[in-house]
Amino acid sequence: MDVEIQKENRKLKYFIEDYWDIFLGILSIILAFYFHKSGQGAMATLFAAVGIGSLSLSVSEVAEILSVRLQEPYGSFVLTMSAVVVEIILLYIILLQAFTDPQVIETVKGGIIAAVIVDMNVLLGLAVFLGGLKFTEQEHNKETSSTYTTILLVTSVALLVPSLLNHSKHTIATIEEASMLIAGLLMIFYIFIVVFQTKTHTHFFKETARSRIFRIKRKMNENQETDDTDDYIFEKFNNLGLVVSIFTFIAIIALGAEVFADDGIKLAKEYGLSAGISGLIIAIVAVSPEIVTAIKAAKNDEIQRVVNIAMGASTVSILLTVPVLMALAYMSGIRLTLDFTPLEMGALLLTVILAWKTTDEGQTNYFEGISHLMFFVAFAIIAIYY
């Protein structure tokens, strides 16, 4: 009898551990709609953010199963793409608020840059720091970081073009035209990078050091027990089922994003939050599941996966998010341009340089992780007063 009770308790424990994010996410979004209808903007924004973050974690978990089946470099490609789809949906729904509040456009532009800042400094910094504390030094394929930092440097310079035209006092029509050209150029560059990553130079994105299984089965921690108490339902799905599950969660996230955009923008104006800080909040909400995934990977001594996620997501955040948002804005009749503030462009360029310096040798340690975190805190402080 005691054995049966222990088994049932273990099943309940594993059920909660496996599905808490789905239940919390759906419940939070329902509550967000309730508070939205009740006129309680702060509570609606809070629960919408919790719901988006929780269900984004669910997307990440399901995408992780698919990525393990596909293996590297396709694995990290799937993870970054699933996260960036959430980011695009969130930013676009916020962008639609520009019809009633044109200042929202600056928040969206801040969110684009902030996503890279958070990926490269918070995600990479936390994972490298915690992984460094556990393993002293961790090794990754230096060709990966070298390739990604080159891509990010080139794309950062490309984004400078509309900003320089703006500061050179060119007309808004000229800046819009330049922004569209740069967006098209970024999309072409992205296509070449996809081919480079998945076809011609896949070895640049694979681990060269020892690594461990990313998703460690609980059975190994339970003395190789053979019961099925820890079966995760999504592991039984085929690849098509996983893709359908991912987009189902993303559809629910989109519902929460509407509340987050509507009440969140009003709340930001009420409290006088700058576009930079608003962009950071949006980025943290969107990137939070990737952060959790990266920390798990670092603790399992899979720093290669961390580098792929952090730098891959940053690359896609610019090369895919920018062209897609530009296209969606154009179709919606919103004048979105790529003229970013000096703070945003400076932080972006310095982030790329810092990532290049901390990853170029193919080894990471906790000092390099804390360096990225210090940079992020400094940027956040400046953004508050900028």
Kindly state the tokens that stand for 145.
């970081």
How far apart are alpha carbons 184 and 167 in whole angstroms? 22
Q: What spatial distance separates the first Cα and last Cα of the chain, rounded to whole Å?
A: 65
The segments of the chain whose pLDDT lies below 50 read 208-229
How far apart are alpha carbons 209 and 194 in whole angstroms? 24
Q: What is the pLDDT of residue 218?
A: 40
Say whether the peptide bond before residue 323 is cis (omega within 30 degrees of 0).
no
> Which phi and psi angles does 137 have, rounded to 5°?
-135, 145
Q: What is the pLDDT of residue 325?
A: 92
Q: What is the pLDDT of residue 184?
A: 93
Domain of 201, in residue numbers: 2-385
> By the 8 A CB rule, do 52 and 285 touch?
yes
> By the 8 A CB rule, do 64 and 79 touch?
yes
How far apart are alpha carbons 359 and 307 in whole angstroms? 9
> By the 8 A CB rule, do 326 and 179 touch?
yes
How far apart are alpha carbons 251 and 248 in whole angstroms? 5
Amino acid symbol at 308: N
Q: What is the CATH number of the domain that holds 98?
A: 1.20.1420.30
CA angle 114, 310, 286 (to 5 degrees): 45
Q: Note the pLDDT tens digit of each residue in 183-212.
A: 999 999 988 888 887 777 666 666 544 443
Kindly state the tokens that stand for 185.
């150029």
Q: Note the pLDDT tens digit of each residue in 253-265.
A: 888 888 988 888 8
Q: Note the pLDDT tens digit of each residue in 298-324.
A: 888 888 888 888 888 888 888 889 999
Q: What is the pLDDT of residue 32?
A: 93
Amino acid symbol at 243: V
Residue with tokens 């923008």: 265
Domain count, the chain: 1
How far apart are alpha carbons 275 and 116 in whole angstroms? 16
The Cα-based distances of 161 to 85, 114, 156, 176, 351 in angstroms read 26, 19, 9, 11, 19
Output the pTM of the full model: 0.81
Tell me the three state secondary structure of residue 345: helix
Residue with tokens 């005691």: 2
> Which phi and psi angles does 138 have, rounded to 5°?
-130, 145
Angle (deg, nearest 10), helices 104-117 and 342-359:
10
